[in-house]
Every structure is written in structure tokens, then in C-alpha cells.
Amino acid sequence: MLNLVWADELDETAVREVRELLLAARRADGRPEVDAEGPLPGEFSGGLHLLGRLDGRLAGYAHLDTAGDSFGRQVAELIVHPELRRRGVGTRLTEALVAKAGTAELRVWAHGDHPAAARIAGHVGLRRARELLVLHTEVRDWPEPSLPGGVALRTFVPGQDEQAVIDVNARAFDWHPEQGALTVAELRATEAEDWFDPAGFFLAERDGRVIGFHWTKVHPADPNQFDGEPVGEVYVVGVDPAAQGGGLGKALTLAGLRHLRDRGLKHVILYVEGDNAPALAVYQRLGFTRFAVDVQYGR
């Protein structure tokens, strides 16, 4: 019988159990990104934790972000151990999440858009509310970026450019449930991550003012994906709404892609909202095709 326990914090033993479950899921599914040591991924910090055990073994884990996204919706992540799937664990965890959220608006991520997730969502009355597409391309000979008149390109300077980037980010992503809420403190914390590289963080300036940026990322090699090679990512491209429409977004994207190519990478991915038709059109013209899709179910 599945034993469900809610926790405000995870003790050392629970953190180890959750990490082992996440690592097993990554081997099976390619996600989530999780290190063998150190803290759990940021999406599992704070909030509430739900542990589901079968015969004492951690069979499933869910995290409920009670602070919510930029629009106040509580957001949940849910993972079932690959060896213990198809036993009703996911359904029980989802039912518990819905009950805990109460009358609050709730969104639950389903990474990979598995049919089982759709069935569970339907069972508890959740509907498909958001699609986040993962696009992929093999590295190619992208042309040099053509910047609009009066615009110069440079790289990010830690300790100098955080506020300017956050100001543009807030205006560019005021519609986005996660990205638009990025803070200076969070940006500075990311600068301490092993993957952060200011040489791959491009800023566009006009008259000395930042009007856009392209932040790239490099993921370590995963033996189960992309031929076991490291993979680059178009992490965030943001353009101030006042500077949109002149080709700046494409120019910034090309600058970052050429940087990733010059680092010797063979594959590049990016995440884009499924209903963002203008961005999809740009990325498709640059050679990106659909690789995977993540779904949020909500009520």
C-alpha cells in the first residue's frame, strides 16, 4: 500500500532518497537535470514536499510550489520511479496535490507529454493548459548577425550588468509565468553556477542602454541523449518591447548560436512556448525542429 507523507522540509535521508529517484528518472527519461551531489535542483526548493513510499521504498515524489508563478498559480512537479510505474502511484500523488492546493489555481508539469500523464490528468479533472516545446538542431554554418542601425553587441560583465538585464527581462517577459519574475539576486546566484559563462551572455546596446540580450548555456554530456555529447542551449533571448520588430531578436539569436558552434558543440536545444508563433517562425528558419514537449495541466 502506498504511504503518502507531506513535509515542509526534507531531512538528509529524504534528500538522498529523492536524489536517487530523480537520477533514476533521468536515466530513463533524460530529465530532470540533477547532480549526484549537492543540493537538489532549484525547482524542488521551498514549498511543500510529498513523499510516496511502497514497502518503505520511495516510489514517487512531488513538489508543490506554494509561492506560485508570476500569476499566483501553485505549480507542481511529480516524478514516479521508473521501476514502480503503472501501479497507481502517479494517480495517488496527483490526487493528493489537488487536495492540498484546495481552491487555489494549480498547474502540474508533465515532462515529455506521456499518455499516462494525460490519463491521470483527466482522472482528477485537470486539462491541458500550456505546452512548452523543446526544439533541437544540429550545429550548422549560421550567418553573421545583422544588427539594426545604432546597435552594438558586447558580452555580459558580472557585477555591472545585472540590473540592466533584469529591467529588460521584466519588460520582455511580463506575460511569462516564470521568466518575467527573475530578480537581480537570482541572476547573481546563477553566476555562481558551474555552467555560467559571461562569454556566452550577449547584450545589445543602443546609446549606452541595454535593449536586448541572449543568454546561452552548455549542458554536460548525457550518455542517453545527443550522441553522448555536451549540448548548447538558447537559454533566454529577451528584447525590450520598444526595440522589437527590427530584427534584433534574430541577430541576438545568431550571435549566441555562432558562439555555441565556436565552442565545438554539435547540438543546440531551446525551450519555447507552443503558442509563441513569431518565435517559432524565427527558430524554424534557423533550422530548429520539435524534439520534445512539456505540458502543464491545470484547472
Residue type, 135: L
249 marked as part of a ligand binding site:
yes
285 marked as part of a ligand binding site:
no
Residue type, 166: I
Read off the CATH number of the domain in which 171 is found. 3.40.630.30
102 marked as part of a ligand binding site:
no
pTM of the model: 0.89
Answer yes or no: do 244 and 263 share one domain. Answer: yes
200 marked as part of a ligand binding site:
no
75 marked as part of a ligand binding site:
no
179 marked as part of a ligand binding site:
no
79 marked as part of a ligand binding site:
yes
The closest alpha carbon to 214, from 188, 232, 193, belongs to: 232
74 sits in the region (left: phi over 0; alpha: psi -120 to 50; else beta) called: beta
Cα gap 294→108, rounded to integer Å: 11
Domain boundary among 98, 125, 152: 125
Number of domains, the chain: 2
Domain boundary among 90, 125, 160: 125
CA angle 146/152/157 to nearest 5° reads: 125
130 located within any domain: no
Answer yes or no: do 119 and 188 share one domain. Answer: no
Characterize the bridge pairing of strands 267-273 and 231-239.
parallel
52 marked as part of a ligand binding site:
no
217 marked as part of a ligand binding site:
yes
222 located within any domain: yes
Cis peptide before 82 (omega within 30 of 0): no
238 marked as part of a ligand binding site:
yes
Q: pLDDT digit string (tens) for 64-93?
A: 999 999 999 999 999 999 999 999 999 999
Q: pLDDT digit string (tens) for 225-283?
A: 898 999 999 999 999 999 988 899 999 999 999 999 999 999 999 999 999 998 999 99
The fraction of the chain above a pLDDT of 90, given in percent, is: 86
Q: pLDDT digit string (tens) for 159-207?
A: 999 999 999 999 999 999 999 899 999 999 999 999 999 999 999 999 9
293 marked as part of a ligand binding site:
no
Cα gap 60→89, rounded to integer Å: 7
Cα gap 165→1, rounded to integer Å: 50
Written as nine digits, the cell of 225 is 541523449
Answer yes or no: do 254 and 149 share one domain. Answer: yes
The closest alpha carbon to 23, from 95, 81, 103, 89, belongs to: 81
243 located within any domain: yes
Residue span of the structural domain in which 271 resides? 136-292
245 marked as part of a ligand binding site:
yes
